[in-house]
Amino acid sequence: MKSSFLTNRALLLAFAVTAVLSVYSCKSQPEAAAEAEAPAPAMEAVDTTGPEYTSRYICPMYCKGSGSDQPGTCPACGMEYVLNEDFHETHADSTSAQ
Protein backbone atom coordinates (compact mmCIF):
# COMPACT_ATOMS: atom_id res chain seq x y z
CA MET A 1 0.00 0.00 0.00
CA LYS A 2 2.78 2.38 0.92
CA SER A 3 4.71 1.67 -2.24
CA SER A 4 1.55 2.24 -4.29
CA PHE A 5 1.11 5.64 -2.69
CA LEU A 6 4.68 6.53 -3.45
CA THR A 7 4.25 5.39 -7.01
CA ASN A 8 1.21 7.58 -7.37
CA ARG A 9 3.14 10.52 -6.01
CA ALA A 10 5.98 9.76 -8.39
CA LEU A 11 3.58 9.55 -11.29
CA LEU A 12 1.98 12.85 -10.31
CA LEU A 13 5.39 14.44 -10.03
CA ALA A 14 6.42 13.01 -13.38
CA PHE A 15 3.21 14.28 -14.93
CA ALA A 16 3.77 17.73 -13.47
CA VAL A 17 7.33 17.82 -14.72
CA THR A 18 6.21 16.65 -18.14
CA ALA A 19 3.50 19.30 -18.23
CA VAL A 20 5.95 22.05 -17.29
CA LEU A 21 8.48 20.80 -19.80
CA SER A 22 5.87 20.60 -22.55
CA VAL A 23 4.80 24.17 -21.83
CA TYR A 24 8.40 25.33 -22.06
CA SER A 25 9.02 23.33 -25.18
CA CYS A 26 5.87 24.73 -26.74
CA LYS A 27 7.08 28.24 -25.96
CA SER A 28 10.55 27.66 -27.29
CA GLN A 29 9.49 25.79 -30.42
CA PRO A 30 8.39 28.79 -32.51
CA GLU A 31 11.69 30.55 -31.85
CA ALA A 32 13.68 27.49 -32.83
CA ALA A 33 11.57 27.08 -35.95
CA ALA A 34 12.04 30.73 -36.86
CA GLU A 35 15.77 30.38 -36.47
CA ALA A 36 15.85 27.20 -38.53
CA GLU A 37 13.77 28.68 -41.33
CA ALA A 38 15.38 30.98 -43.82
CA PRO A 39 14.39 34.55 -43.06
CA ALA A 40 14.30 35.52 -46.71
CA PRO A 41 10.86 35.34 -48.29
CA ALA A 42 10.36 32.65 -50.86
CA MET A 43 11.05 34.37 -54.14
CA GLU A 44 9.47 32.89 -57.21
CA ALA A 45 11.99 32.15 -59.89
CA VAL A 46 11.43 34.64 -62.67
CA ASP A 47 10.64 32.86 -65.88
CA THR A 48 12.15 34.98 -68.64
CA THR A 49 11.27 32.58 -71.42
CA GLY A 50 7.68 33.75 -71.84
CA PRO A 51 6.44 36.09 -74.58
CA GLU A 52 6.40 38.96 -72.09
CA TYR A 53 10.20 38.75 -72.23
CA THR A 54 11.01 37.40 -75.65
CA SER A 55 8.61 39.31 -77.89
CA ARG A 56 9.80 42.17 -80.08
CA TYR A 57 7.62 44.61 -78.14
CA ILE A 58 7.16 43.99 -74.47
CA CYS A 59 5.54 45.67 -71.49
CA PRO A 60 8.09 47.53 -69.30
CA MET A 61 6.56 45.71 -66.35
CA TYR A 62 6.81 42.31 -68.06
CA CYS A 63 3.17 41.62 -67.32
CA LYS A 64 1.94 38.11 -67.79
CA GLY A 65 0.34 37.76 -71.16
CA SER A 66 1.99 40.86 -72.62
CA GLY A 67 4.36 40.98 -75.54
CA SER A 68 3.70 41.37 -79.23
CA ASP A 69 5.36 41.56 -82.60
CA GLN A 70 3.85 45.01 -83.09
CA PRO A 71 3.78 48.14 -80.94
CA GLY A 72 0.77 48.45 -78.71
CA THR A 73 -0.32 48.59 -75.14
CA CYS A 74 -0.09 45.97 -72.46
CA PRO A 75 -3.42 44.25 -71.95
CA ALA A 76 -2.62 43.77 -68.29
CA CYS A 77 -1.49 47.20 -67.11
CA GLY A 78 -2.18 49.42 -70.13
CA MET A 79 1.39 50.66 -70.48
CA GLU A 80 2.81 51.18 -73.92
CA TYR A 81 4.98 48.40 -75.22
CA VAL A 82 8.67 49.13 -75.50
CA LEU A 83 11.06 47.70 -78.04
CA ASN A 84 12.71 44.68 -76.49
CA GLU A 85 16.44 45.24 -76.64
CA ASP A 86 17.00 41.60 -75.89
CA PHE A 87 14.83 40.54 -78.77
CA HIS A 88 16.72 38.55 -81.32
CA GLU A 89 15.36 37.69 -84.70
CA THR A 90 15.33 33.98 -85.20
CA HIS A 91 15.41 34.45 -88.97
CA ALA A 92 17.47 37.19 -90.59
CA ASP A 93 14.95 38.51 -93.10
CA SER A 94 15.00 42.11 -91.89
CA THR A 95 16.93 44.60 -94.02
CA SER A 96 17.45 46.87 -91.02
CA ALA A 97 19.37 44.19 -89.19
CA GLN A 98 23.06 44.93 -88.76
Distance CA(90)–CA(54), nearest Å, equals 11
61 forms part of the interface with Zn ion (CB under 5 A):
yes
Least Å distance, CB 34 to Zn ion, is 36
Torsion of CA 62, 65, 70, 71, to 10 degrees: -50
Q: What is the DSSP letter of 75?
A: T
Name the amino acid, one letter, at 20: V
- Does residue 74 contact residue 81 with C-beta atoms inside 8 Å? yes
Q: How far is the CB of 56 from Zn ion (least distance, A)?
A: 15
**Residue 76 found at the interface with Zn ion (CB under 5 A):** yes
- CB closer to Zn ion out of 10 and 75: 75
Site membership for Zn ion, residue 82 (CB under 5 A):
no
Question: Binding Zn ion by CB under 5 A: which of 55, 63, 73, 87?
Answer: 63
| Shortest distance (Å) from residue 45 CB to Zn ion | 20
